Amino acid sequence: MSKFSVSEKKAASLEESLLDNLQVATQDKDQLTEEEIAALGADLFEVVPYDEEEAERTGYSNYSYWGSTVRMFFKNKTAMLMLLILALMLVFTYIQPLLPNQKDPTWCHWDENGMPLADIQPNSEFWFGTNNIGQDIWSNMWEGTRNSLFIGFAVAMINAVVGIIVGMIWGYIRQLDFILTEVYNVLSNIPSTIILILATYVMSPSITSLIIAMCVTGWMGMARFIRNLTLMIRDRDFNLASRCLGTPTHRVIMKNLLPQMVSVIMLRLALAIPGAIGSEAFMAYIGLGLPATIPSLGSLANAGRQYMMLPSMRYQLIIPCIFLSVITICFYIVGNAFADASDPRNHV
C-alpha cells in the first residue's frame, strides 16, 4: 500500500468495518430457546397485505424542501433572535395601549397654568419626553410603530404577490412580453405623487389611501425583477425538456422557475417591508404623508429632523431613528438568513 494513496486508505478502512460487522453478525445465534420464542409478539407473524403506495415510498428519501429550509433557518441563532425581537415589538404595539397609565398619543398635554408641556425631556412622567405641541412621544412611538409595520407588511405583501405572478408570466410567456413591457412602461412612468394626491383627494388621507396609492404602481418593481430572473433561465435545457414532455405552463412556472428564485425573492421581500416604511417616511418628507392625527415612524422621524442641531432636543430625532433602525436591521438579517437557508445546496 502506497503511503499517500487516498483511495487505498479508504478501502482499507471500509474493509475493516465490514469485517467488524461480520464478526458481530456471526456472534449472534440463530437458535432461540423455547422461552424466547414464547416472548415474541404474535403480530410479528401476521401477513401484511401488499400496499403499492408503501412500496413506492421506500424509493424516495423523505427530504422536504420547505422543511429543510426552515430547519436551516432555525439553526441561525442571530436570525432567530432578530425574529423574536420583531415579534415582541409587533405584539407590544398592540399591548401598549391596554397597559395602565398610558397616555393618548394625540392628546396635547398642558400644565396647570394653561401652558403647553412642549419639548419636555424624557422623564418619569413622559418616558420619551414630549414633542413640540406637548404630545407624549412614548405612546406616539408605539402607535407609529404599529401603523408603520402595518403599512410595511400590507404594501410588501400585495406588491410581492402581484409582482411575482405578473413577473413570472411576463418573463416566461413570449407572446405576452411586449404587452406587459408596454404596460410596465406606462404604469412606471406615471409619477406616484400624482396618484398619491389623487388618492388622498378622492378618499381623504388615511392609512388605506396611502397603502392603495403605494400599491398601484409599487408592484411594477418586483414584477420587472422577477421577469429579468425568469428571462435568464427561461430557455435553459431543463425547461426545454419539460416542454418536450408536455408539462403545462403553470407547472413549469411553479416547479421549474419559482424554486430557483426563492432566495432572491426572500431577500427582496425582507427589504420591501422596511422599504415601504422608508417610502412612507419620504412621503412625510415631501408633505404628502399621513394626516397629523395618525402618527407613523416616518412622520415622527421627520418631525424630529428640525432638532438635529439642538443637542438637548435631539432625543426627538434619535428615538424614532432607533426604532426605524432596529426594524430594518431585524428584517435585513432575517431575510438574508432565510435566503441562505432556502438554497437547497446548503441543505444537508
Residue 217: burial class (beta carbons within 10 Å; 0-12, 13-18, 19+):
middle
Cα separation, 167 vs 226, in Å, equals 5
**Min dist. Cβ of residue 343 to another protein (A):** 6
In the bound state with another protein, the residue whose beta carbon lies nearer, of 103 and 319, is 319
**Min dist. Cβ of residue 214 to another protein (A):** 15
Report the SS3 class of residue 289. coil
**Min dist. Cβ of residue 187 to another protein (A):** 9
**Min dist. Cβ of residue 294 to another protein (A):** 19
In the bound state with another protein, the residue whose beta carbon lies nearer, of 212 and 301, is 301
**Min dist. Cβ of residue 273 to another protein (A):** 11
In the bound state with another protein, the residue whose beta carbon lies nearer, of 103 and 209, is 209
In the bound state with another protein, the residue whose beta carbon lies nearer, of 142 and 307, is 307
In the bound state with another protein, the residue whose beta carbon lies nearer, of 214 and 324, is 324
Handedness of CA 338, 62, 22, 46 (dihedral sign): positive
CA 150 to mean position of chain CA atoms: 14
**Min dist. Cβ of residue 191 to another protein (A):** 6
Cα separation, 46 vs 30, in Å, equals 21
Contact 267, 285 (CB under 8 A): no
> 52 is written with which cell numbers?
403499492
In the bound state with another protein, the residue whose beta carbon lies nearer, of 162 and 321, is 321
In the bound state with another protein, the residue whose beta carbon lies nearer, of 134 and 262, is 262
- List 130's β-bridge partners, or say none: 136
**Min dist. Cβ of residue 275 to another protein (A):** 9
Fill in the amino acid letter for 217: T
**Min dist. Cβ of residue 277 to another protein (A):** 9
Concatenated DSSP letters for 26-58? HHS-S---HHHHHHS-GGGGSPPPP-HHHHHHT
Binding site for another protein (CB under 8 A): 172-174, 177-178, 181-182, 184-186, 188-191, 193-195, 197-198, 201, 228-229, 231-232, 234-236, 239-240, 243, 263-264, 267, 271, 274, 278, 281, 285-288, 298, 301-302, 305, 308-309, 317, 321, 324-326, 328-329, 332-333, 339-340, 343, 345-346
Interior/surface letters 280-298, b for 16+ CB within 10 angstroms, e for the rest: bbebbeeebbbeeebbbbb
Alpha helices in the chain, H assignment, sequence order: 6-27, 34-39, 52-57, 65-75, 77-95, 137-172, 174-189, 192-203, 207-234, 237-244, 249-251, 258-285, 297-304, 315-341
In the bound state with another protein, the residue whose beta carbon lies nearer, of 109 and 234, is 234
Fill in the amino acid letter for 118: A
Fill in the amino acid letter for 310: L
Q: At what angle do helices 174-189 and 207-234 cross, to 10 degrees?
A: 140
